[in-house]
Structure formats: structure tokens, C-alpha cells
Amino acid sequence: QETTLSLYDVVDRIENERFLIPQFQRGWQWDEDRPVLLFDSLFTGVFIGSIVIGPPTFDLWVREIDNRPRSGLGSGRRLREWEVTAQEFIDSRQGGQDKALVLDGQQRITSIYRVFNGIEKVYFNCKKDLDINNLPTTVVDLMESVSRTTDEDGFYIPLDMVYELKNEIRARRVRRYNDHLGNLAYFNQQSPQQQQQTCDIMEHIAEQIDRFFSDATVSRQTQLNTTLDMFLKYFERSNS
């Protein structure tokens, strides 16, 4: 069974423990460049592969998503682990929560979660030659590039800022975007008239990114009634 999810849906399911990582599956291993490439692929329409999930027919131990920093305080913290019974998965489906194991796609969904929560910094670099009177409505036409660092004279927005503000009223979003622009050399070198246009452009870009994150862009395949044998096959593949 194949369906699609939005990026916001993916993170919501992680935070509400509806997507569960098997304890024995290898941990999150992507380097700092891979989340950038993932979001570049998403924005430019490159297929990133399906997330494969399945409710198991057996009890097993799971662990929380890797939300630790790469280095420093908390980087060596042991991830929480707990046992989930087959009956819990059945009850969750009947209650409309449909908990499931992530059989394939842990690296991708973990990266999405970490970027949205600012653990991995990824920046949407905006085009500087946009016409305020003819702004594109697709993110790929607004985007210069995606990166994990910024240029001194860059015109960019952190992706975690868009996620953080997704449920805020417009006035608060605009205030945060304007505060962000006030820290950019690119903005501070402009005339007052140019700055007002840049504020309007930034709001438009952030709105389009938010809309993109809200759209169903991630393919999900569900393996119904995942048996132990089926689980072991996915486990062997994901750890190879």
C-alpha cells in the first residue's frame, strides 16, 4: 500500500511516536552534507525513495529518534529504549494512530527531523534578482541553493525557522523574518525602499517553503502485518 506524506506529517509522527525505530537497526550515520543534499533533492523534485513502514505482528524493543547534537554536551547520551507489544500496534490502528516500524528510510526521516528542529543547520539561499512584482510561486524558482553554511553577504533563511513559525500568526512570523533580515549584511547595505521590498520578498519565500513542507511530497509504502521473517529481511538490508 503506497501513500504520500508531507514533511510536517513525517516530523509529527516521529514526535508522537507513531514512527518507531527498531532497537537493533543501525543508528543514524549521515555526515553533515547528506541532509543538505536531501533537501536539495526535495526542493528540486528529485525522488528520494519511499519510506517503508509496517506494523509488526510480534513484540519488540524500539528506540527514540536520534536527537543528539553531533558534538559537545549531550552528544554521547544514551537514546531512550522501550518495548512495544504487537497488541499496542493493533490498538493504535483501531484508535486511528497507526503506529508502525520504520523498515527503510531511517536516515532520511531522522535528517528531516533534525533539520526542522535545528540540530542540523540547513539554509535556503534565496535568489537576489527576484522581481517584487513577479515573484515565482515554486520554491525551486526562488532558490539559489541549499547549504549548511552561509556567505557573509548571503540572502538566506534557516529551514528550522520556517518550521518553528509554521503555526504562528502572520504578524509574529513577519516580525521574526524582519529580525532575521536585520542580521544580514546583504539587507543592511540596502536603501530603506529596497529593505521594504526585501522584507516582502522574504515573507513570500518563507510562505512558499512552508507550503512546500505542508504538501505531500514523501512517498510511504506500508507493509501490512509485518512478520518476524519480513522484519529480519529489512533489518539485514538496512544494516548491510
pLDDT digits (tens, 9 = 90+) for 79-124: 999 999 999 988 998 888 889 999 889 999 999 999 999 999 999 9
Q: Look up the pTM and report it.
A: 0.93
Alpha helices in the chain (DSSP H): 7-15, 33-44, 86-94, 106-116, 139-142, 159-164, 170-181, 185-188, 192-214, 228-238
Does 74 or 232 have the greater pLDDT score? Answer: 74
Taking only the tens place, the pLDDT of each residue in 141-152 is 999 999 999 999
